[in-house]
Amino acid sequence: MITRRLQYELAGRAVGPLLLTIERWQKKLKRRQPRREGPFGPPLESTQKLKELMSLHYLQGRYADGAVPVAWITSGFPVEMLRPFGFHVVYPENHGALCGARRMIPEFAEVAEKEGYSHDLCSYARGDIGSVLSGKTPVGRLPKPDMLGCCTNICQTVLYWYRSLAKYFDVPLVLIDTPYVYGESQPHHIDYVRDQLDELTVTASKITGKPANSETLHETLQLAREAAELWAACLATGKNRPSPWTGFDGFIHMAPVVAMRGTEECNAYYRMLLDELNDRIARGIGGIRNERYRLLWDNLPIWYKIRELSSTFAEAGCNFVCTTYTNVWADPAKDLDPAAPVASMARAYSNILLNRDLNNRMRIFREMVRDYQIDGVVLHSDRSCKPYSVGQIDLKRLITEELGVRTLLIEADHADPRAFSEEQVETRLQAFIEGFT
């Protein structure tokens, strides 16, 4: 236990930073190739720091089991409850996005499909289960969990997915069930979720052998609220003309607010990113060189096509200045209250975008189209994310009729390229772009 803890601390505090310093020096020593004049503005300098932050997070994770308690949780799980108990937290969805961007999902998904998991299931679920069964991952190793945490505020699939994981790892699964919110969440909804959060405290305490610590929880909530506020401020810089970054940059830079929310490292990173974005605004630097049309992206990104898609649009002077997905991690800022941590978390995590009705989705479109001066909306109908994709045809019609902006619906999958028809999607995108020019 002590040796393992030492390895874990060394990985995070000494070996990891040392390796990253060496890598930085190697990069500096390498002769720089002159950068090709592309459609994008100068790259964000913070990206290097982001890579280091996430690399360190995954490197330390390799040595976490046996050193500290480990929890695998869904992206919408109230992670703030776990931080005071010292959990190392793994996000299979974040790991899935990473695998998706590296085009490794088909390999992992096939392992899961051979075990009988339907190819109609979410590609994150198939990718994660396949990664667990095969023991393969692009991050070296994922620590074995002591606990699984699943919150139904993003979808119901996570429940069945985490049940499979619980059976495989033979560890407790904590379910936080959030009733779907039509209109506004009701007091009895909040009470119901709050009771489950109280139970979570008891379970986490049992697993870790540590008592609950209200002071640390208070501090964590403060950090989480600040993280959401900083992230919201970063996203809001896209309201400028030109936007200092692109929505696709946002998809990459959201990793810390998803996976490290409630930690000081996360907030320090976003302070740095916000400073850089504000500096770019002051100097008139755009995410793309020639921003002529401002677009909004709905739903998850197509991780394995981010580079190609962003280039196609950027070359035509189209910049995605905002996305509904990245906004999901900015939204809780208004609900999290360090003075009433559990009750405010019950509210914040019930009010997640995917747990609310289409009227709320339309309200967000209305505000974004107005505030970001949007010329067109691209809705990604994501085969793997049914809760996000259902209703998009109605939303598309409403956006066109009510907001008077051009819309496009494309069909793809966020992580599985086998469900992506390159030529057909490209034709639709090109036709959409031709409509502007």
Residues contributing to the site for another protein (CB under 8 A)? 393, 397, 400, 406-407, 409, 411, 421, 423-424, 427-428, 430-431, 434-435
**Closest approach of Cβ 374 to another protein, in Å?**
16
In the complex, the smallest distance separating the C-beta of residue 60 from another protein, rounded to whole angstroms, is 41
| d(C-alpha 218, C-alpha 88), whole Å | 19
Nearer to another protein, 345 or 433 (CB): 433
Q: Which of 272, 224, 259, 226 is nearest to 54 (CA)?
A: 259
CB 436 within 8 A of CB 293: yes
CB of 430 to another protein, least distance (A): 5
Please, which residue, 6 or 431, has the CB nearer to another protein? 431
Distances (CA, A) of 297 to 20, 208, 248, 322, 360: 33, 41, 9, 7, 17
CA distance 87 to 168: 20
In the complex with another protein, which residue's Cβ is closer, 135 or 404? 404
Residues ≥6 apart with Cβ < 8 Å to 94:
75, 255, 258, 259
Query: In the bound complex, what is the minimum distance in angstroms from residue 136's beta carbon to another protein?
Result: 29
Tell the smallest beta-carbon distance from residue 404 to another protein (Å): 11
**Which of 38/435 has CB closer to another protein?**
435
Beta-sheet strands, E only, within 13-126:
70-73, 88-90
**Cβ atoms of residues 281 and 234 within 8 Å:** no
Give 145's contacts (C-beta < 8 A, 6+ positions apart): 65, 70, 71, 72, 90, 165, 169, 171
Residue number with CB closer to another protein (134 or 421): 421
Name the residue nearer to another protein (CB basis): 359 or 421.
Answer: 421
- Cβ atoms within 10 A of the Cβ of 321, count? 33
**Is 428 exposed, middle or buried, given 0-12, 13-18 or 19+ CB atoms closer than 10 A?**
middle
Count of positions (residues) in the chain: 437
Measured from the CB atom, the residue of 345 and 377 that comes closer to another protein is 377
Question: How near is the Cβ of 396 to another protein at its closest, in Å?
Answer: 8
Q: Closest approach of Cβ 377 to another protein, in Å?
A: 12
